[in-house]
Amino acid sequence: MANRREIGAAAVAAAALLAARSSQALDASRPIVTAPPVRIAMLLYPGMTALDVVGPQGLLAGLAPDTLDLVAQTVGPIPSDTGLSLIATTSFADCPTDLDVLFVPGGDGTAAQMLDAATLAFLRDRASRARWVTSVCTGSLILGAAGLLRGYRATSHWCVRDTVLPLLGAIPVDNRVVFDGNRVTAAGVSAGLDFALALAARLRDEDYARTAQLVAEYAPKPPFEAGSPAAAGSTITQRANAILDTLATEARKAAATTHWPASSDD
């Protein structure tokens, strides 16, 4: 039985082929062009939020059937902030140097990565040549700590967006997905799905993204209107802040002690 990845890849490939054949029918002199695979590197680190990675990976994998690397300092299982481990398939040293997409997730381990010299050096190097430099949730703070969001409009999880991003030279924006140049940042956790579809449309086309959305049956109708502080109200927001306080406090401290290189090639 075909798995979800194979189904998704087949569906989007069929949509692309149908579009190409329709175009060829209109102009028989134009050849069918098969789009090359996209080279994607997705950072893993201890304490990441698994859904920050798995959501975008599930929607982007069809674009990169054999060219999507899950990257960490060393190859092997990396525990998420809820204990679920993801497997890093490639080390920093072996990660391709030229990428179409460099991706950073958020999570409880964000502050540690904001201060990790090896992680920041890896991101600076790959970002200097990447077509797109991207993040979900507090992953934008790690990009910021690497000096990669200075002067860029960006978003993050609401608990740190307006308080920490400015400390890192970024301009906070209250949107689910923010494009600024080749920087693409998404808000908290669930926004990773919106991010992946928006980026897929840029990497291929809108019909490709729509097909991926349909294959995933992504038609959210949450049981509650509580996905933002404004919608949730003060009582629920206070409860959420109590859960998120350590993450936000540690991120602020890390941002306050971050020192960027004197110059940057990004």
Q: Which residues are part of the catalytic machinery?
A: 137
Note whether 138 and 185 are within 8 A (CB): no
Residue at 243: amino acid letter: I
CA distances from 199 to 13, 50, 135, 245 (A): 17, 19, 11, 31
Q: What is the DSSP letter of 100?
A: S
Helix axes 191-203, 50-60, angle to 10 degrees: 30
Residue at 170: amino acid letter: A
Structural tokens at position 185: 């940042």
- What H or E segment, with its residue span, contains residue 96? none
217 φψ region: left (φ > 0), alpha (ψ -120 to 50), beta (else): left
Q: CA-to-CA distance for 167 and 181, rounded, in angstroms?
A: 20
For residue 220, the Cα-to-chain-centroid distance in whole angstroms is: 19
